[in-house]
Structure 1
Amino acid sequence: MTRPRVLAIAEAANPEWVSVPLVGWSLATALREVAEVHIVTQIRNRDAFLRAGLTEGVDFTSIDSEALARPLWALGERLRMGQGKGWTTLQLINALSYPWFEHLVWRQFGEAIRAGRYDIVHRITPLSPTISSSLSAKCARAGVPFVLGPLNGGVPWPAGFDAERRREREYLSYLRSAYKALPGRTATLRHSAAILAGSRHTMGELPGFARAKTVYLPENAIDPARFSRIATPAPDGPLRAAFVGRLVPYKGPDMLIEAAAPLLRAGRLHLDLVGDGPMMPALRAQADALGVAAHITFHGWLEHAHVQDVLATCHLFAFPSIREFGGGVVLEAMALAVPPLIVDYAGPGELVTASRGVKVPLGSRAEIIAGFAAALQNLSQDRAALAAMGQAGRAWVLEQATWAAKAGQVRAVYDALLAKAPLPKVFAA
């Protein structure tokens, strides 16, 4: 079968970073195994692409939009006052700067698109559904299918967590739904030939005409080369559980310590906390006050490649975050056969089933702590169940949630568009 020629727009794509840039890089490069792909990215990613062995002008093109992007980014950093907070503010800044990037993309590739030198144009990043695309209408006029996504984001803050919301400086999130009225959003969705929704929440926010051409495809996957080990926790001794993430309020590391305190004091549990952030001093003080500091290892920030070294020693991944869009770290734990214990909400709640992990219902802070405490108590007494969930999770990830599998799922969307056939339901839970 002829491989489709794809122009992959990935403004944020970088193999040396995490979060959205790593998703952009991973999906764009995985697609090169199933299609003839030329990647278009922002110039800040150029050196990382070259270090990864790609050839500029052949495998990728870097677009220099820094004249506008750099000062707007600096403004965004000032508005969010650093520390990785104010995500909604950053998305507003991206919405202001990104159209110039697409303008430059069309300036460089518009003639080739109109001439039919690409079968598909696929905008992979930005992932945010709040950022429209002028390319969708231009590609539609040129008769070239435009694929949008995976789109994800905007998960509402749960009731009862307004304090955490304010501590994250998410003031603009109170107005977030206003993005649906922004100029260009409806046109972007209408002119897209297919939309990939990275979460069921994002799919639910789309208007009916857009949902009809939307495929549910969670944004995250894992690279088996990066997460190649299988967990081999000690068969006896205390249960070992890990938390991986920024130490910020909505991730809930303080809730985990409180929930785990009885088992920690009894010597039946050891916690490995991987990550750093503004809560670190408070978490250390909390551990001291509860008398559990001797049973918690604060690893601090670790290189992404070394996270699996900690996870591979654990029986359980304990992650009480109450607002995760994708939940990539949950997949990474499952890839190592470490079953997750999570809050049943948003990204993690969509990735975990009863056969491959444990979900605590979303509720108040006190209810989540109580739910985690009960789950930890039960799991500490049933390591056979933990091992079975770990193996089931690993098998599912390797079948459905590697980047190679994801590329095959996206290729099925391309093939349906080019054959003018119904879009497939490519992701199996």
Structure 2
Amino acid sequence: MKRLNVLISAYSCEPNRGSEPGVGWNMARAIAKHHNVWVLTRPDESKDAIEAELSQNPVPNLHIVYFTLPFWQDSMRWGQSGAMQIHYYLWQIQAYFVAQRLHRDIGFDVAHHVTFVKYSSPCFLSLLPIPLVWGPVGGGESAPRSFWKDFSLRAKAYELARLCVRTVGELDPFVRLTIRRSAVIRATTHDTARRLYAMGAMDVEIATESGLSSDEIDRLSQLGQPANAPVRFISMGRLLHWKGFYLGLRAFAEADLPNAEYWICGDGPEWDQLQQLAQDLKIESQVTFLGRLPREQVLEKLGQCHVLVHPSLHDSGGWVCLEAMAAGRPVLCLDLGGPAVQVTKDTGFKVSAMTPEQSIHDLADGMRQLAHDGDLRQRMGDAGKRLVQSFHSWESKGNELAHLYESLAMQVEKVSCVS
């Protein structure tokens, strides 16, 4: 099939980054291998990085269209949370008018909203007379209420504020318009899919937004297995209440593995509480808090460990799970959010999250099994490598999306022929 003209909305888009910026950039680059791509994004956060990357590694068929609000050119001004969300909403409105002018000149076949991956904000590209692929969008995940009893007052306030903002978004008529007018709706998790169905969506595909490049996958696959003793568990990420690292510490204490170690890599507001918890549980001699490290050192630490413990309560994505599986490490996680979509029974243990006590008990059981069974670790590690290679590389995602766009374009062509 001929190359299509694809319009991508990527509010956050930057090379050599993880999270949302990485999603925007890597999606666009992967799709440009198959079709002609125009990316709408902001100059204030990413223009210098994108231009530097393209000068070193040109991407044919990839065109970047920068714009931002004339009265609010720096999206980082006034903070990075609430103010940025307002900027993002207004930028989405502006994106429609920019896209409308481009469509008159270029003639797009399909549009795709990539970032932010936020289901409770509209995408005004749905008003264009072409099919829209919306997402994967996320944000519909919540920490189960039974876990709130362990949260601090500040953590509870955060969860309540998050629920309120999400509820307001669900009432936005433009969000519901986006749902009605999208040709394809994709959600990062089953939780977000359920919220979309409740708002009127008829069909929602589940697809993780996270991915790894072939180079990253190859590099991670080269991390050799460490010696069997001591067995080391590792958790990586910001030390936030909803990351659930306190569950990992409690499970490690319950597992009662005197010859094992638990490393925690990251920094954040829960640092002091987690250190105190390790002392209270009398496992401080087995637990090492590594702090925040450069990515190179983080991967080095991962290579020295046997199992990733990622008991997050509401991750939309879960990049660290993909990295661990690509490195051949089994994953212990909760059956919640993005990790529940990424991790399978062959690549790790997904434990249910009914109550903290039950989750801790099941995590501890998984730790004991993996600590005592090297063959199980090897089988799960090998399965993780195969899974990431087959389904979670940016190249495989680009191939999948290219076929999806072609299918949508063919449907439009058939309708045009009939009419």
After TM superposition, the score normalised by the length of structure 1 is: 0.86
AA paired with 1:60?
I
Q: Name the Cα RMSD after superposition.
A: 2.6
Give the corresponding residue for 1:12.
12
- 2:64 is the counterpart of 1:63: no
> Could you report, residue by residue, the CA deviation over 1:20-57 in whole angstroms, capped at 9, with x for unpaired residues?
12212221222111211122211121011112125799
Give the corresponding residue for 2:317.
326
**Equivalent residue runs for 1:344-355 within 5 Å:** 344-355=335-346
The answer to whether the 8 A contact 1:337-1:394 is kept is: yes
Query: Structure 1, unaligned stretches of length 5 or more?
Result: 78-89, 423-429
Q: CA deviation at 1:213?
A: 5.0
Give the corresponding residue for 1:36.
36
Provide the rounded CA distance (Å) in 2 between the counterparts of 1:226 and 1:395.
14
Provide the rounded CA distance (Å) in 2 between the counterparts of 1:33 and 1:336.
26
AA paired with 1:392?
A
Query: Structure 2, unaligned stretches of length 5 or more?
Result: 414-419
Q: SS where residue 8 of structure 1 aligns?
A: strand
Q: CA deviation at 1:93?
A: 4.3
Q: CA deviation at 1:398?
A: 0.2
AA paired with 2:154?
R
Give the corresponding residue for 2:354.
363
Number of residue equivalences: 403
The answer to whether the 8 A contact 1:14-1:25 is kept is: yes
Identical amino acids, percent of aligned pairs? 26
The answer to whether the 8 A contact 2:252-2:364 is kept is: yes
Provide the rounded CA distance (Å) in 2 between the counterparts of 1:132 and 1:125.
11
- 2:273 is the counterpart of 1:287: no
Give the corresponding residue for 2:417.
none
Provide the rounded CA distance (Å) in 2 between the counterparts of 1:13 and 1:377.
41
After TM superposition, the score normalised by the length of structure 2 is: 0.88
Give the corresponding residue for 1:343.
334
Aligned counterpart in structure 1 of residue 161 of structure 2, from 147, 172, 182: 172
> Could you report, residue by residue, the CA deviation over 1:132-172 in whole angstroms, capped at 9, with x for unpaired residues?
122211x12xxx22221111112122022225385332332
Give the corresponding residue for 1:156.
142
Provide the rounded CA distance (Å) in 1 between the counterparts of 2:27 and 2:68.
22
Give the corresponding residue for 1:3.
3
Provide the rounded CA distance (Å) in 1 between the counterparts of 2:159 and 2:71.
27
AA paired with 1:394?
K
Q: CA deviation at 1:58?
A: 6.6
The answer to whether the 8 A contact 1:320-1:342 is kept is: yes
The answer to whether the 8 A contact 1:95-1:130 is kept is: no
C-alpha spacing 1:229/1:97, structure 2 compared with 1 (3 Å): closer
Aligned counterpart in structure 2 of residue 244 of structure 1, from 223, 236, 243: 236
The answer to whether the 8 A contact 2:254-2:361 is kept is: no
The answer to whether the 8 A contact 1:264-1:295 is kept is: no
Give the corresponding residue for 1:273.
264
Q: CA deviation at 1:339?
A: 0.9
C-alpha spacing 1:154/1:93, structure 2 compared with 1 (3 Å): farther
C-alpha spacing 1:173/1:266, structure 2 compared with 1 (3 Å): same
Provide the rounded CA distance (Å) in 2 between the counterparts of 1:421 and 1:391.
42
> Could you report, residue by residue, the CA deviation over 1:351-394 in whole angstroms, capped at 9, with x for unpaired residues?
22211111121122222222212221122111101110110111
Aligned counterpart in structure 2 of residue 136 of structure 1, from 122, 126, 138: 126
Provide the rounded CA distance (Å) in 2 between the counterparts of 1:32 and 1:358.
36
Give the corresponding residue for 2:288.
297
Q: CA deviation at 1:264?
A: 6.6
C-alpha spacing 1:343/1:214, structure 2 compared with 1 (3 Å): closer
AA paired with 1:372?
L
Aligned counterpart in structure 2 of residue 398 of structure 1, from 389, 396, 417: 389
AA paired with 1:21?
P
Give the corresponding residue for 2:210.
220
Identify which range, 396-405 or 60-69, moves more after superposition: 60-69
